[in-house]
Amino acid sequence: MAFWYNVVSGTVESDDTKGPGDDLMGPYESQEEAAKALEIAAAKTKEWDKEDAEWEERGSASSGDSW
């Protein structure tokens, strides 16, 4: 069974009890993981921002090619 985090209610829901899709983050494999959805999303965003900055830095140091 999958679990979801409802951003409107701030609760964890299961496949059987989940609300509208626009309000949900997931799926997650456990209730515990779903309960940490906002923390997980923040960590992923931080990592992606770091990767984007590194990519941009490499691009500006290249031979001057631009897209």
Write down the pLDDT at residue 59: 82
Position 29 in a domain: yes
pLDDT score of 2 more than 90: yes
pLDDT score of 67 more than 60: no
- Total domains in the chain come to 1
Can you say whether the dihedral through the CA atoms of 2, 32, 11, 25 is positive or negative? negative
What are the structure tokens assigned to 31, written together? 């209730």
Model-level pTM? 0.72
Position 65 in a domain: no
**Continuous H helices in the chain:** 31-35, 37-60
Position 32 in a domain: yes
Q: Write out pLDDT tens, residues 16-52.
A: 998 788 999 999 999 999 999 999 999 999 999 999 9
Position 19 in a domain: yes
Residue range(s) defining the domain that contains residue 46: 3-60
Position 67 in a domain: no
